[in-house]
């Protein structure tokens, strides 16, 4: 199965480090970051899970839940969590899916045979409260993720969901945003963008970020 942006994230019931999880029920009304790992007790994954654990206050501010996945069993996950907490000086406050039968890995197309026939690549999905897939990033197994980018994209998605704007390249929270080309009526522009805008080109209109 190949997932695309805008698709409904598949539901599943699977064991995890905190017991059996039914994904949609567990997610509730939150945004979700679902990310996979090739295996337990691997160095890159250990640092990534530590970073994710340390970002919990940032995720909480954005109504985001994190959930990881590896194809190892739940008891191995729990042993690995002890290592993560000790080596990364943090508390892992999110579950790790025990996808030993690769049900979830296949649902989310996390196994790329030319990279590995058995291990998941580093796939990451941002899923909104309506259970729609909003972002897909896939890294090779050897490359750790940039979690600052994950937070940046969540900020952009939540902003553009609330306001009729788009974000420019390298945008960060607080930067100017773009008025979409679909908005042309001067009265609508005045109403939606009361702070005004600059327009170096007719198709490029920059306005201060709306207050979230």
Active site residues: 45
Q: How far apart are CA 69 and CA 48, in angstroms?
A: 12
**CB within 8 Å of 14: residues ≥ 6 apart:** 20, 21, 23, 97, 98, 99, 103, 104
SS3 93: coil
Q: How far apart are CA 168 and CA 153, in angstroms?
A: 12
- Residue 112 dihedral angles phi and psi, to the nearest 5°: -110, 105
Give the Cα-Cα-Cα angle 150, 155, 158 (nearest 5 degrees): 120
Q: How far apart are CA 68 and CA 82, in angstroms?
A: 15
Closest CA to 68 of 101, 43, 93, 103: 93
Give, in order, the Cα–Cα distances in Å from 1 to each of 9, 32, 98: 11, 20, 20
Neighbours of 6 (CB within 10 A): 8
């Amino acid at each position: 199965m190949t997932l695309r942006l805008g698709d409904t994230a598949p539901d599943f019931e699977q064991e995890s480090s905190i017991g059996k999880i039914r994904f949609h029920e567990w997610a509730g009304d939150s945004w979700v970051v679902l990310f996979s790992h090739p295996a337990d007790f691997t160095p890159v994954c250990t640092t990534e899970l530590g970073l994710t654990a340390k970002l919990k206050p940032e995720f909480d501010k954005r109504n985001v839940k994190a959930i990881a996945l590896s194809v190892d069993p739940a008891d191995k996950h729990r042993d690995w969590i002890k290592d993560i907490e000790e080596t990364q000086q943090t508390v892992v406050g999110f579950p790790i899916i025990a996808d030993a039968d690769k049900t979830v890995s296949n649902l989310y197309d996390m196994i790329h045979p030319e990279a590995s026939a058995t291990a998941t690549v580093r796939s990451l999905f941002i899923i909104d409260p309506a259970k729609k897939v909003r972002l897909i990033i896939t890294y090779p197994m050897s490359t750790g993720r940039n979690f600052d980018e994950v937070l940046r994209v969540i900020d952009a998605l939540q902003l553009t969901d609330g306001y009729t704007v788009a974000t420019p390249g390298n945008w960060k929270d607080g930067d100017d945003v773009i008025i979409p080309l679909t908005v042309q009526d001067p009265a609508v522009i005045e109403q939606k963008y009361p702070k005004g805008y600059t327009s170096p080109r007719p198709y490029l209109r920059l306005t201060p970020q709306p207050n979230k």
